[in-house]
Each structure stands twice: as structure tokens, then as C-alpha cells.
């Protein structure tokens, strides 16, 4: 459902698209579960601040005048997969998590900047009063880069 929410065009065609392309490649190698959501400013959350990428300006109202809807400040996504005998990829259950600003700076080239641990994701969600608590093993593990495409990846 995150794709029906107002998104920065460059983020949607950049870093967010890179996460979608990862799913398209890896779903042919192993079962993959994807879940995520959107984070809005306001609503009384404690410890909130305008995202650094927004340059000090609250840009959560891009679409209020034209569509009567606020846009999210951040999007988050978790990909979880497990090993399949005889297929390339993972030895055990594995995951990768993202916390991404809804901003033009979220380009494909810097998608690795948005990798996050599950513990940090839970802390961010808590900061914005989102009642999620994601529990996965090794919640402090974090990849240093996105999963490389498996050999012969076909996104068709």
C-alpha cells in the first residue's frame, strides 16, 4: 500500500525502486516476505524533528492543497527470506531493513545509506508512536550494502 501514498518522485524512482528490484530478483531464489509502512509528522509523537534532508522546512503538506492529504516523512521496509536447498542465496532466515526519507535525496546510488537494524527500526517507529514491534533474530545485524542480484536475475 505504500505505493499509493504521496512520494517524492526521485525517491520513488531511486532508492525505493532499488528495494523493489531486490524483491523482484530474490523472489525467484527463495521465499520472501515484504512488509513496511509510512511515517507521518505530527500526531503528538515525542522526539520528532523535521527530517534533516528537508532543510528545516516541514514539507509534509505537499499534497494538502491539491489532494487534501499529507505526505509521509519516511517510508520503511523489511525483506525477510529463508534458504531453499539447491538455490543460490541464503543459508538461513535473513532480512534487510530500510528507513528512507520521502525526499529527492533518496536516490538509487545512495540506497545503502538507508539500511538499518531491526532494533533501530523499532526505536524509530516508537519515536513516531507507531505501535509496531518487529521481532527477528539477530536484530542488531545490518548489511553494509543491499543484497546483490543473484546470477541470471530476470525481473520479467
The CATH number of residue 13's host domain is 3.40.570.10
Asked whether residue 137 is domain-assigned, the answer is: no
Candidates 61, 80, 145, 141; CA nearest to 111 is 145
Return the C-alpha cell found at 103: 525526499
Angle at 107 between CA 105 and CA 109, to 5 degrees: 125
What pLDDT sits at residue 78?
94
Return the C-alpha cell found at 30: 527463495
Count CB atoms within 10 A of the CB of residue 110: 12
Return the C-alpha cell found at 93: 532466515
Virtual torsion, Cα 148, 13, 33, 69, nearest 10 deg: 160
Range of the domain at 73: 2-127
- The DSSP code for 61 is T
What pLDDT sits at residue 3?
66
Candidates 58, 63, 52; CA nearest to 114 is 52
Q: What is the count of structural domains for the chain?
A: 1
Count the residues in the chain. 156
Asked whether residue 41 is domain-assigned, the answer is: yes
Asked whether residue 51 is domain-assigned, the answer is: yes
Asked whether residue 140 is domain-assigned, the answer is: no
Query: What is the pTM for the complete model shown?
Result: 0.85
Q: What are the pLDDT tens digits along the chain (156 aa)?
A: 566 788 888 999 999 999 999 999 888 888 888 999 998 876 545 556 667 777 777 777 777 888 888 888 899 999 988 766 656 566 667 889 999 999 888 999 999 999 999 999 999 898 887 788 888 877 778 788 888 888 888 766
Asked whether residue 95 is domain-assigned, the answer is: yes
Amino acid at each position: 500500500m505504500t505505493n499509493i501514498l504521496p512520494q517524492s518522485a526521485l525517491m520513488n524512482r531511486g532508492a525505493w525502486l532499488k528495494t523493489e528490484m531486490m524483491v523482484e530478483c530474490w523472489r525467484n531464489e527463495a521465499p520472501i516476505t515484504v512488509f513496511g509502512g509510512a511515517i507521518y509528522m505530527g500526531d503528538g509523537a515525542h522526539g520528532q524533528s523535521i527530517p534533516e534532508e528537508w532543510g528545516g522546512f516541514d514539507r509534509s503538506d505537499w499534497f494538502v492543497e491539491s489532494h487534501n492529504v499529507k505526505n509521509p516523512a519516511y517510508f520503511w521496509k523489511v525483506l525477510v527470506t529463508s534458504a531453499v536447498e539447491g538455490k543460490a542465496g541464503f543459508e538461513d532466515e535473513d532480512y534487510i531493513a530500510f528507513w528512507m526519507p520521502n525526499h529527492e535525496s533518496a536516490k538509487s546510488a545512495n540506497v545503502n545509506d538507508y539500511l538499518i537494524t531491526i532494533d533501530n527500526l523499532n526505536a524509530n517507529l516508537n519515536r513516531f508512536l507507531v505501535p509496531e514491534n518487529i521481532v527477528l533474530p539477530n536484530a542488531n545485524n545490518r548489511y553494509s550494502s543491499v543484497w546483490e542480484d543473484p546470477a541470471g536475475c530476470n525481473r520479467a
